[in-house]
A = this chain, B = another copy of it.
């Protein structure tokens, strides 16, 4: 992971909630902070695997690189502002939504966010400085389990479990999605060149994996989506159901 709560968190908190204070003397800022954050998101989205570059961002904004640092103390702070900005655009489950539907909605919209903004997966969350929209999302998740009669420890742990699962499974989805572009090879090409060599080394020592392979579980893309991506999305739903069922066993029963 990279960049979490580096730099002065008090400053970050102020930026998140109050924005950038206008200078009391001297020339005004030529840009709004939100312009920088939006441009940074756009730039990071395009960069894909490669991290956001402050130079590229400055160029996109038509300013010098060093000028960015008059708006934002460092790249770490900028990333935190970007996280908050993404949260602002995410839908919240409407009030009166049942806990299961609500948690599912939150997880699904998180998946959408991770797929649209893969760099989110790189931002560590341990020392996240909470902005209003990130906080609202957490509040909504807690609210969903209001009527379940659970102790606070379980409520927070269950929400965290959904988040952790979502993050892990979304990483698998994003990796499957980006692999062809990153490596310049389609899933089919990949397995066609590797499968025979791998099978040879495997000998008879991995019967269950060999069975999967001959069953075509690895290759074969018979849809518009590449196979590994379709499989990752399929598994996302299946695994999410497992987690929600686990919660259900402690809520309803």
Contact = CB atoms under 8 A, between A and B. Distances in A.
Interface of A: 1-2, 4-6, 9-10, 13, 17, 49, 121-122, 124-127, 129-130, 132, 135-136, 138-139, 142-143, 146, 152-154, 156-158, 160-161, 163-169, 171-172, 174-176, 178-179, 182-183, 190, 193-194, 197-198, 201-202, 205-209, 211-212, 215, 217, 228, 234-235, 238-239, 241-247, 249
Contacts of A246: 241-246
Contacts of A208: 139, 142-143, 146
Contacts of A172: 125-126, 160, 164
Q: How many copies does the complex hold?
A: 2
B135 A206 contact: yes
A171 B175 contact: no
Given A152-B217, A171-B1, A239 B209 contact: no
Given A154-B238, A164-B168, A10 B193 contact: yes
